[in-house]
């Protein structure tokens, strides 16, 4: 199956700072990929490269196209919601629908209108009159109505309350996602959406720290919780990160088997949030 995104050696510098430092990964169709990293890790730069919004060096194909030279054609099949509401504040809801209908060949106005009917958004309202949650709903309505193959979301629910956040992701799953569509999502609220991801890419200091399918994590990573007095023996198996929890120690291992670790304590697959913290702060990080 052809990859939706194939990145090889992506590099981008801002002055002396390397925002992307040889980033390599690929994304298959029909996946929901979490691009996760701390502030300043290079997530947004990577997304901007994918969207053709910033120059970079290295190889990148998105839906088989080079975003540097084929951006206009690419954007017919890619949708994008930025980290905060960026819909123009002067625009009316009807104008937003008119505009997207006028420029996007894959926009189905009826879908957007049906979605908006289920919300409190009035068609005559200006964007500046809507709450932040409503603006995100409006943007989502526009995006749902576009028959795109790749949806890029950069912190789309930042600043929204829990209800709007939950509705946003439920709508994405129920009304948008299908086997031919791919969603690439960055978020700080990893715990809230980690059950959504089929794949994760951890990025730190402009480098990929982990790129894996969620279903493979259980065979690759183990979290061992054990008594403090057992820790010295377990440490010999070289955990890449450990932390204390209520007088016990949690250790994180890569590539160890249950047979090797099971005798020391309680073994489980770490959550994505725990794995992220372990990877960012563990020995593998810089």
Q: Give Cα 54 distance to the centre of its chain.
A: 19
The reply on whether position 178 binds other proteins by CB under 8 A is yes
Query: Between residue 69 and residue 128, which ones bind other proteins under the rule CB under 8 A?
Result: 72-73, 75-76, 79-82, 84, 86-92, 95, 98-100, 102-108, 111
Using the rule CB under 8 A, which residue among 10, 37, 63, 194 binds other proteins?
A: 194
DSSP state of 146: B
Binding track, positions 130-149, relative to other proteins; x by CB under 8 A:
---------x-------x--
The residue count for binding other proteins (CB under 8 A) is 52
Q: How many beta carbons lie within 10 A of that of residue 176, not counting itself?
A: 17
Residues 237 and 256: beta-carbon distance below 8 Å: yes
Q: Which two tokens stand for residue 94?
A: 């009807």
Of the listed pieces 158-166, 207-215, 230-238, 253-261, which binds other proteins according to CB under 8 A?
Answer: 207-215
Q: With respect to other proteins, which residue has the nearer C-beta, 89 or 235?
A: 89
The reply on whether position 286 binds other proteins by CB under 8 A is no
Rounded distance between C-alpha atoms, residue 101 and residue 143, angstroms: 12
69 to 50, 78, 108, 238: CA distances (angstroms): 12, 15, 27, 46
Q: How far is the CB of 239 from other proteins (least distance, A)?
A: 24
The reply on whether position 166 binds other proteins by CB under 8 A is no
Rounded distance between C-alpha atoms, residue 93 and residue 97, angstroms: 6
The reply on whether position 250 binds other proteins by CB under 8 A is no
Q: Which residues contact 22 (CB under 8 A, 6 or more apart)?
A: 9, 10, 11, 58, 207
Residues 165 and 157: beta-carbon distance below 8 Å: yes
Q: With respect to other proteins, which residue has the nearer C-beta, 86 or 162?
A: 86
Q: Kindly list the residues in this chain that would bind other proteins in the complex (CB under 8 A).
A: 30-32, 48, 51, 53-55, 72-73, 75-76, 79-82, 84, 86-92, 95, 98-100, 102-108, 111, 139, 147, 173, 177-181, 194-198, 213-215
């Amino acid at each position: 199956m052809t990859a939706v995104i194939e990145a090889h050696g992506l590099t981008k510098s801002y002055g002396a700072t390397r925002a992307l430092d040889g980033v390599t990964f690929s994304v298959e169709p029909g996946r929901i990929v979490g691009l996760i990293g701390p502030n300043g890790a290079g997530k947004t730069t990577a997304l901007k490269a994918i969207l053709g919004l910033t120059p970079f060096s290295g190889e990148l194909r998105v839906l088989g196209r080079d975003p540097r030279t084929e951006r206009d054609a690419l954007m017919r099949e890619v949708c994008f919601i930025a980290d905060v509401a960026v819909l123009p504040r002067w625009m009316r809801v009807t104008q937003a629908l008119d505009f997207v209908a006028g420029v996007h060949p894959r926009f189905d106005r009826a879908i957007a209108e049906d979605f908006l009917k289920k919300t409190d958004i009035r068609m005559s309202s200006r964007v500046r009159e809507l709450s932040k949650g409503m603006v995100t709903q409006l943007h989502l309505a526009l995006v749902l109505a576009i028959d795109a193959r790749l949806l890029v979301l950069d912190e789309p629910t930042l600043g929204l309350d829990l209800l709007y956040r939950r509705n946003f992701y439920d709508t994405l799953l129920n009304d948008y996602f299908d086997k031919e569509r791919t969603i690439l999502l960055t978020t700080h609220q990893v715990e809230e959406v980690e059950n959504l991801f089929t794949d994760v890419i951890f990025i730190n200091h402009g480098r990929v720290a982990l790129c894996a399918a969620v279903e493979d994590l259980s065979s690759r990573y183990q979290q061992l919780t054990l008594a403090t007095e057992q820790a010295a023996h377990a440490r010999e198996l070289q955990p890449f990160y450990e932390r204390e929890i209520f007088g016990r120690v949690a250790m994180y291992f890569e590539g160890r088997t249950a047979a090797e670790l099971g005798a020391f304590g309680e073994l489980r697959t770490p959550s994505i949030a725990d794995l992220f913290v372990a990877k960012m702060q563990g020995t593998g990080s810089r």
